Structure 1
Amino acid sequence: MYSPFQSKLGTNYHARDEEVPQIRSLLVQPLSRIQEIDTEIAELHNAIDVLLTEKATLRSYIQAHRTLVAPIRRIPPEILSEIFEACLPNERNCVMSSAEAPMLLGRVCSSWRTLSLSTPSLWCRLHIVEPMLNTDALAAHIIREQMYARRVEAARAWLERSCQCPLSISLTGSDRRATANTPQSSGTAGILQALIPFASRWENISLRASHAALECLSNLSEQDVPLLTRLHIDRVGSSSRPAPWPKLEFLKGSQITHCSFSGSHGNIHSLPVRWTQLLSLSIGRNARSLTTEAAMKVLSRCPRLETCELTIVHISPPSASTATIVTLPHLRALTVNDEGPHSAYKSGGLFSCLSLPGLVQLEVLGSYMSGVTGSAASFASLPRLESFTIITALFSKPTLIDLLVTLPPTIQRLHLSSLNVRRNHAHMDDDVLAMLDPSIFPNLEELRITECNSVSDQALFRFIVARMSVESPTLRIVNAHFKRSKQMDIPGEIQSFLDAGLQVIIDYQHRYHAPLRSSPWKGLPDEIVKNAI
């Protein structure tokens, strides 16, 4: 718009008295036009609001009708039930939490809730955690009892939904000692009593409970658990009374093929188990009475074993009984934890008394620094061994080398670790790594090194180059973890091997495990809890 004051606009010029009326007359028309524009804008806004309202109504109409033909609504209930089952965790039992299936499924809509509650297979696996408070005050005691009552009622309702399905139940109790004022219906024992009515459908049971709690199962007989095939019992806490195993007649169940015991169990031979039918046996940590001789007696009674894990604490000297060779023709996986002041791996120890023609996987573990020297057990008599794991610090360097040399050429996976030892031993170093050449391990496909910090990056680089430079390299995976700083860029130096398909993962960070919090996931493996919470 033209203005006679165009040259004065945007400057510090101030109008003279005679110019004021002229300037005000120039503004009459623009001000009038602004009012017209505001009126038009208001009318347009009203029109837009009408259109937006109509659009929202149409969208609601369309969405409501599209929902009627949505594919998820047209899925038959039996197929939707299969999808619900696929949402359950595969590696563990379900927890009583609305954050995951099956409880989460019932929060989507009423029809899903009805379907999930009427699908028994969704409720046949359950993980129960004993509720705990960190104080013994009277108010806390009352709250705890209320929590127990709710937990028991929830578990009972959960299992009743499973109808006649076989049950998989895991219970994580505490070692909190019962007092004179503690009712029988409280604590781990109270939860176990709530599970007893479902014993006829037990198939897989895992119990972490105290001596007193386990005694409440003494009324169960082997006829009461006709479906039970897998059993794990971890007896926690300390008790001057002998373990209640002889009273637990249900351990004689005719279908039990997988047994796992840990905690203070007393005489292993007092376990009323049908040893001859076992396919899997685990005697875990804190089993303070298992000797080499006792282990051999147990193994001699288990001819069908396919997997076995033993934690040996007291190593007895060779005797007439242990000198007898025990043959386990079906054993494919064996783990031995050496927790005693003497070694199960010396000549005349456990391995010299075993014949394992079908063994494929062997783990030689332990945390007690016995410092085995001299002649160690030989594994040359394991013609099918493919996977071998060893805590290197259990042995002196010469003994470790002698032991590795005895491994059969069938080895494909090798794991060398110094994890969980009580003090740092530098037995695994560059010299030991250098002897893992293709002439000794021609079929090696995977190497894992865990916290063997005396192994240098240069030695690991030389190992990779040597293995990959042969005519037909077999190495596919190298995974190493060191608690030290990086010394060289190994992946950058072997880029051609990586391009050819070799997988190399090297970690120099300290491992950190977040502490477990009180939650429905308590008692489950750390990585599961960390990912779930």
Structure 2
Amino acid sequence: MTDLFHSNSETFCLNCGFMKSRLSRDDPPAFPHHLLTTNDPPSDLEVAQVQGILDTLHDHVSDLDASINDVGEILAKLRSRRKNTVDEIHRGRAILSVIRRLPGDVLGEIFSYTTPDESHRRVIDRSPWVLGRVCSQWRAISVSLSTLWSDVDSSLPLPVLMSQLERSKGCGLTIRLIYSETEALDPLIDCSTHWETVDIEMGVNMLPLLDRVYGKVPMLRHLKCRDSTGVGSCTSFQIAPNLSTVIINGKAMLRLPWMQLTRLRQRVPSIDDLTQLGSARNLVELSLTNTVSLSLSLARARELPEAVILELPLLRVLYIEDGEFLNFLLLPALENIYISKRPSSLAAFIDRSMCRLRKFTIIDPDVSTVIRVLDCASTVIELRLQLTTKHPGPFVSYLTVPSSFNADSRPPCPELRSLSLCTNVLDDHQSSQVVRMVESRLHSSACSSLSICRILDLENSKLVDYAYKTLDELRGGGIDAEWLPEKSARRRLIDWREEYV
């Protein structure tokens, strides 16, 4: 069937492109040539002739304008038809889409990776809610997967919250409790037997509510409690047979099943609290903040009772702000330690605990302290230091293995494989020292090869010339080398800390 488009001035065939319009008329007559090439005045007859030509040209312009408008309409119609055709193509491709043919169990596995992170938990226009708006099949699958609904946000409207609790169907719940969200607290408290991970913001009126969960948290594994007011002691989690990880921020005071904990992060505000910490003998990871004031209190005590020396026989990872607190710890299994202040007690601690440390992160030590510590830590594999000294050269020289060393000699840190050095004073000469040190360890038979070298430059906002030179030399030797300028270096320092806290 012929598809014609009609307008006031023309007919256009959408199939073959034929156009019948006033554009096909003869060309208009020309002006008298001698009047175009001279400045002679026209005669009366020529004036009438020129005026007639002008009228004809005006008519022709009108025809052209009309044709342009008609072509615009034709173009708009063609574009509309093209869009509709492309939409049809998309719809057809959707029919053939692989995801449309996936089995329900595979779709469910994919859905499990769509749950929002912490920053987006409060948006109901995200997974899992949005999955049910795609099609009936997706809705049926998402509703049937209780684990998709296990991360419960107490800020949701009550009907939505109740729907989510119903869909979770008794699987372990991750919830956040804030007392200001009173409407949601009762249903969340009532389902405490299914709590698995709980984040609580304590308040003066929260304790009576939490009393209702005493002995009713059999699935609880992870507990985070925040309290900036010190509302009192909470005993609600004293009976929690599966509780293994606890994070305590602020002034929260909790009675816990200390013996079964394996991971703990808390402030240590007083000597009295050391007793309960000493009871946590199964801890594997421990993060202690606000330890400066406590270590000072312990140091000033006239008599230090034997109980003050805390032995945690299974602890492998320790974050501690004040290194002086190490004077009161005995950790024979420790492998990984982060110290942010005053690491001078670390050497004595290593000797006393007889631990085999594998990873150090030390912030702002002096070079002599680092060397003294490393003399006691021959088992270290990874070393991360932030040195603010103006002369890091002695430390680099300490790690350099002389060519005279043989396989029977014992260089410093013979098992060292990864070094991260953060400084704001590493110049061209000192960079060359680093290269020579790495090469000496790479070629020495007396120690393991140093295969990873990171330099964190706190002084320069971009890589300087000698940084490129250093990287070329290190990478040329097969080293995994990285030089981070100021902004990236500060981000990496934060990453170091966040591994622990």
Partner residue of 2:407?
none
The corresponding residue for 1:210 is 203
Kindly report which structure 2 residues correspond to 1:188-207, keeping only aligned pairs within 5 A, or say none: 191-207=184-200
Q: Distance in 2 between matches of 1:32 and 1:324?
A: 107
Residues 67-107 of structure 1 show CA distances to partners (whole Å, capped at 9, x for unaligned) of 333333333333222212111247x5961214643344455
User: After the TM superposition, which of the residue ranges 473-482 and 194-203 deviates more from structure 2?
Assistant: 473-482
Give 1:466's match in structure 2, choosing from 437, 442, 452.
Answer: 437
For 2:246, the equivalent position in structure 1 comes to 259
Kindly provide the amino acid, as one letter, of the partner of residue 344 in structure 1: F
Q: Which has the higher contact order (CA 8 A, sep 6+)?
A: 1
Alignment of 1:271-350 (within 5 A): 271-284=254-267, 287-290=268-271, 295=274, 297-298=275-276, 300-311=278-289, 312=291, 313-315=293-295, 316-317=298-299, 319-322=304-307, 326=311, 328=313, 330-338=314-322, 343-345=324-326, 349-350=327-328
- Kindly provide the amino acid, as one letter, of the partner of residue 170 in structure 2: Q
Give the counterpart of 1:435 among 389, 398, 419: 398
Tell me which residue corresponds to 1:489.
Answer: 465
Task: Report the equivalent of 1:377.
Answer: 348
Return the alpha-carbon distance in structure 2 between the equivalents of residues 383 and 510 of structure 1: 33
Letter in 1 for 2:482: V
Percent identical: 22
Describe the SS at the equivalent of 1:447.
strand
Greater helix content: 2
Structure 1 gap ranges (5+): 130-149, 174-185, 419-424, 514-524, 527-533
Aligned length: 441
Distance 1:496 1:456 in 2: 16
Question: How far apart, CA to CA, are the structure 1 residues paired with 2:121 and 2:139?
Answer: 17
Counterpart in the other structure of 1:144: none
d(CA) in 2 for partners of 1:301 and 1:40?
A: 93
Distance in structure 2 (CA, Å) of the matches to 1:40 and 1:428? 83
CA distance in 2, matches of 1:350, 1:278: 20
Amino acid at match of 1:413: E
Contact in 1 for aligned 2:452/2:480 (Cα 8 Å): yes
Provide the rounded CA distance (Å) in 2 between the counterparts of 1:28 and 1:453: 84
Shift of 1:166: 0.7
Q: SS at 1:86's partner residue? A: coil
**C-alpha separation in 1, matches of 2:38 and 2:418:** 83
Equivalent runs, 1:93-242 vs 2, <5 Å: 95-98=121-124, 100-106=126-132, 108=134, 112-113=138-139, 115-128=141-154, 151=157, 154-171=160-177, 173=178, 187=180, 191-222=184-215, 224-239=216-231
Read off the aligned partner of 2:114 and give its amino acid letter: C
The equivalent of 1:244 in structure 2 is 233
Render the CA deviation track for 1:235-273: whole Å, top value 9, x for unaligned: 22245xxx323x32x33211112222232245xxxx543
Distance in 2, matches of 1:510 and 1:48, equals 53
Match of 1:360 in 2: 335
Determine if contact 1:189/1:212 at 8 Å carries over to the other structure: no
* 2:475 paired residue number: 498
Report the secondary structure of 2:199's partner residue.
strand
Separation of aligned partners in 2, 1:12 and 1:167: 97
Distance of aligned partners of 1:457 and 1:13 in 2 relative to their CA distance in 1, 3 Å threshold: farther
Q: Root-mean-square deviation (CA), in Å?
A: 4.1
307-316 or 455-464, which moves further after superposition? 455-464
What's the TM-score, normalizing by structure 2? 0.72
1:377: Cα distance to partner? 2.9
- Name 1:414's counterpart in structure 2: 383
Residue 402 in structure 1 maps to residue 395 in structure 2: no
Q: Which amino acid aligns with 1:355?
A: P
Cα deviation code 1:200-250 (max 9, x no counterpart): 10111122323432342112222x1111122222222245xxx323x32x3
Alignment match of 1:448 (pick from 420, 425, 428): 420
Which residue of structure 2 aligns with residue 140 of structure 1? none
Query: Does the CA-based 8 Å contact 1:123-1:162 persist in structure 2?
Result: yes
Question: Structure 1 residue 497: deviation in Å?
Answer: 2.7
